[in-house]
Amino acid sequence: MSHTTAIGIVPTGPKPKKLISVERVIVYSVLLLCAVFFLFPLYIMVITSLKDIEAIRSGNIFIPTMTPTFSAWGKAWNSACTGLYCEGIKVGFWNSVRITFPSTIVSIAIASITGYSLANWPFKFSEAFFTVLLVSSFIPYVVMLYPLVLITRWLGIYSTLPAVVLVHTIFGLPILTLLFRNYFASLPQELFKAARVDGAGYWRIFFQVFVPMSAPIFTVAVILQITGIWNDFLFGVIYAGPTNYPMTVQLNNIVNSVQGGKEYNVDMAATILTGIVPLAIYFFSGKYFVRGIAAGAVKG
């Protein structure tokens, strides 16, 4: 006979869950608090960017306007003024694109191949090399800023796009190489051996065997690099030169340039526009990001 509970229900199928429990209440309150903490400023920014300057002066900062307008967005994109000229944040946007794409692609290409070499083709000093790499990823950037100025100047590329791309690539390498090495080291060794018996060499094993099964780690690397480089301010301001300032630097210049009254709506719109790329990337790839991190941690 089946057992019955005190109130005479025969347990069968999924166990009914209590609707409210202490843990749930705690978890959801914390989540809610965090969400509010981060979303509230965003809310202010969005509603402010949709007001016109009159509404901002007269209205309450927390209350959205009844007559939203996108004119501030248009101005932010097309004609907001930095200290020097008034071409809007779009200049910075395209600069950022020109900086981010080559930096991401080059750094990931180099790091994945280096990581693969370290994991699968040990050479005499590969362990030492790996240690150096590991240590170097902890050195504060600031230490290298000035030497890199000198180096890029010596190379004749200081204050150009290649300079900032080079710097981003260099600083991305340690952590990315680490990431790739650990991922490739976690793949079954026998797979690599099987490919060698099949006659595949260094490049063929990399491109035909490893890369196809490394989508998660490439996703992680791409996300890390795009968001990291897009959000960068320091390298952009130092190495890119005024004509190539990335979006973050231009945003700063727009917000800080004082010509007449402060246009909060334009500033807000420009800020949102600047943040929208990393935001969108997290939003659409968060799932893969988590999956990739997990795949690197446990066995692939």
Partner 1 sequence: MKANSTTSVSVRGLALSYGAVQVLKALDLDIADGEFLVLLGPSGCGKSTLLNCIAGLLEPSHGQVFIKGKNVTWEEPKDRGIGMVFQSYALYPQMTVERNLSFGLRVSGLAKDEIEKRVKRVGDMLQLGDLLQRKPSALSGGQRQRVAIGRALVREVDVFLFDEPLSNLDAKLRAELRVEIKRLHQRLANTMIYVTHDQIEAMTLADRIAVMKGGTIQQLDAPQTIYNKPKNLYVAGFIGSPSMNFLKGKIEGAGAKAVFHLGGQKIPLKDYVPDAPLKAGAAVLGVRPEHIQLDMAATKANSDAYKAVVDLVEPMGSDSLVWLKIDDTLFSARVESNQHFDPGQKVDVRFRINLASVFDEATGDRL
Chain positions contacting partner 1, by CB under 8 A? 188, 190-191, 193-200, 204, 208-209, 212-213
Minimum distance from residue 193 beta carbon to partner 1 (Å): 5
Q: Which of residues 44 and 200 has its CB atom nearest to partner 1 in the complex?
A: 200
Minimum distance from residue 63 beta carbon to partner 1 (Å): 55
Rounded Cα gap, residues 82 and 257, in angstroms: 6
Q: Which of residues 23 and 190 has its CB atom nearest to partner 1 in the complex?
A: 190
Query: How many other CB atoms are found less than 10 A from the CB of residue 16?
Result: 8
Rounded Cα gap, residues 227 and 142, in angstroms: 20
Minimum distance from residue 208 beta carbon to partner 1 (Å): 8
Q: Which of residues 16 and 199 has its CB atom nearest to partner 1 in the complex?
A: 199
Minimum distance from residue 219 beta carbon to partner 1 (Å): 15
Q: Which of residues 144 and 209 has its CB atom nearest to partner 1 in the complex?
A: 209
Minimum distance from residue 119 beta carbon to partner 1 (Å): 16
Q: Which of residues 153 and 196 has its CB atom nearest to partner 1 in the complex?
A: 196
Helix/strand/coil (H, E, C) string of the chain?
CCCCCCCCCCCCCCCCCCCCCHHHHHHHHHHHHHHHHHHHHHHHHHHHHCCCHHHHHHCCCCCCCCCCCCHHHHHHHHCCCCCCCCCCCHHHHHHHHHHHHHHHHHHHHHHHHHHHHHHHCCCCCHHHHHHHHHHHCCCCCHHHHHHHHHHHHHHCCCCCHHHHHHHHHHHHHHHHHHHHHHHHHHCCHHHHHHHHHCCCCHHHHHHHHHHHHCHHHHHHHHHHHHHHHHHCCHHHHHHHCHHHCCHHHHHHHHHHCCCCCCCHHHHHHHHHHHHHHHHHHHHHHHHHHHHHHHHHHCCC
Q: Which of residues 189 and 243 has its CB atom nearest to partner 1 in the complex?
A: 189
Minimum distance from residue 54 beta carbon to partner 1 (Å): 60
Minimum distance from residue 116 beta carbon to partner 1 (Å): 16
Q: Which of residues 155 and 198 has its CB atom nearest to partner 1 in the complex?
A: 198
